[in-house]
Amino acid sequence: MIKNLRNLADLKFAITLLLLIAIIITIGSVIEQNQQIEFYKENYPLERPIFGFITWKFIQFFQLQNIYQNFWFLGILSFFALSLISCTFLQQFPILRFSRRCHFYKKKKIDFEIKINSKNIGNFLNKILKQGYFVFQQKKMVYASKGLIGRIAPVFVHLSIILILFGSIIASFSSFNAQELTIKSEVFHIQNTIGFGSFSRFSQQPIRVNDFWINYYLNDKIKQFYSNISILDDNGKEIINKTISVNKPLIYKNLTFYQTDWSIIGLRINNEQKCFQLPTISTKKFGNKVWVTFLPTKNQKNEEFNGKTLVINNYKGNISIYDLNGNLLKNIDKNEFILDKKYKLIDFLSLTGLQIKSDFGLQYIYAGFGFLMVSTLLSYFSFSEVWLINNDIKERKKTYLSVFGKTNRTKVYLNVELSKITKFLN
């Protein structure tokens, strides 16, 4: 069992898994995820395979349209997490425990060596203590070390990656993504999911769209569009209310509401104290975000069918009216008459597009990246060791002591530091 765990903790094995995960994520970024099968049939046809073999059947067979919820991808992530856990307990923790002990000098590869006069040992110890070293003495040998916190950095790196992987696996099983198109002033429940995990739970919290509006620049281009939404309890009582816009979502418990789109589905018309609605259709013939509807009328003798075409190209409240021959008759705003004080434009029937995401496991991912930032800072601390050995070296009637130094990084800095400490101690 321990032997198998040591194989998992092997650095080459972990790097291989990491490279494989990176390749799979790259494929998932190139191939669109969680689309309908018709999308892949259209974009990856059998007649024109990409790179000679990528077709919609190839994607469907290997489930490349749903990579991040695939059992084989989650299995690779689990193996990688197990490899990191094994490495942490079988390698990093023993290294950390070893570094905490006092290791009096034995023959080993060193980064610094100098001799000092034995009479200056007190000055040497005083200076090295001022540099933040912890000093231990055993008979004629002195051991000093600092920067033990730098040894903790690899443990934090492993912990951060494990938390990110754990959060990602939870998210793939428990999260969902939904798109809702809702008319202003209506209440809806989350129904139209476009992606969800095997254990996803869909909130049945009632949600009401109170209002929708758009801000424009002076050149009539859209600046921003907004939706005011309320989260309700089961009795219809408002729990929270917020106006959302693009890049300013509403976060409630594990749900995040994003403003994504908008549309116009109809006009509300008043005709002599009676109100009715005209449905609109979207068309790209006149440009982007243009809607058209038709108002049927008859002449005064009720003998000939007539009507007007209404074109809406923004949400500012004005529309253009055309006759049956396509001639522009006039432009009107809200609360103005379409025809001879008979048909009055009351309001637009707007539709707001909301993206609703449930991100279970996101807190683990955030914590993982937090630990990763901490580990990055800790990695800048180098672990340095210094030994003072009494070899009874006598030269010119003076007794000298040997000073050795070793560090895991910043070797130049160690040499400069110890050179300053031992200066004038010869």
Helix (H) or strand (E) holding 338: strand 337-339
Locate 293 and state its tokens.
């509807």
Q: Is the pLDDT of residue 303 over 70?
A: no
Compute how many other C-beta atoms are within 10 angstroms of the C-beta atom of residue 411. Answer: 15
Torsional sign, CA 270, 274, 280, 285? negative
- Please state, in angstroms and as integers, the Cα–Cα distance from residue 293 to each residue in 302, 330, 383, following that order: 22, 15, 75
Q: Is the pLDDT of residue 228 over 90?
A: yes
Q: Is the pLDDT of residue 241 over 90?
A: yes
Compute how many other C-beta atoms are within 10 angstroms of the C-beta atom of residue 410. Answer: 16
Q: Is the pLDDT of residue 212 over 70?
A: yes
Q: Percent of the chain at pLDDT above 70? A: 88
**Alpha carbons 228 and 248: distance in angstroms, whole number:** 12
Residue 103 DSSP code: -
Q: Phi first, then psi: what are they for 51, rounded to 5°?
A: 60, 20
Q: How confident is the model at residue 302 (pLDDT cuts 50, 70, 90)?
A: low
Q: Helix or strand or coil: residue 100?
A: helix
pLDDT for residue 100:
56
For residues 219-242, average pLDDT:
87
Where does 306-387 have alpha helices with state H?
362-378
Where does 44-152 have alpha helices with state H?
56-61, 71-87, 93-100, 121-130
For residues 260-273, average pLDDT:
83
Q: Is the pLDDT of residue 60 over 90?
A: no
Most confident of 41-45, 66-70, 247-251, 304-308: 247-251
Q: How confident is the model at residue 203 (pLDDT cuts 50, 70, 90)?
A: confident
Per-residue model confidence as pLDDT tens digits over 400-422: 888 888 888 888 888 888 888 88
For residues 317-340, average pLDDT:
80
Name every residue whose Cβ is closer than 8 Å to that of residue 190 and which is 6 or more positions away in sequence: 178, 180, 202, 203, 204, 205, 207, 356
pLDDT for residue 242:
93
pLDDT for residue 258:
92
Per-residue model confidence as pLDDT tens digits over 70-109: 878 888 888 888 888 887 777 776 666 655 555 665 656 7
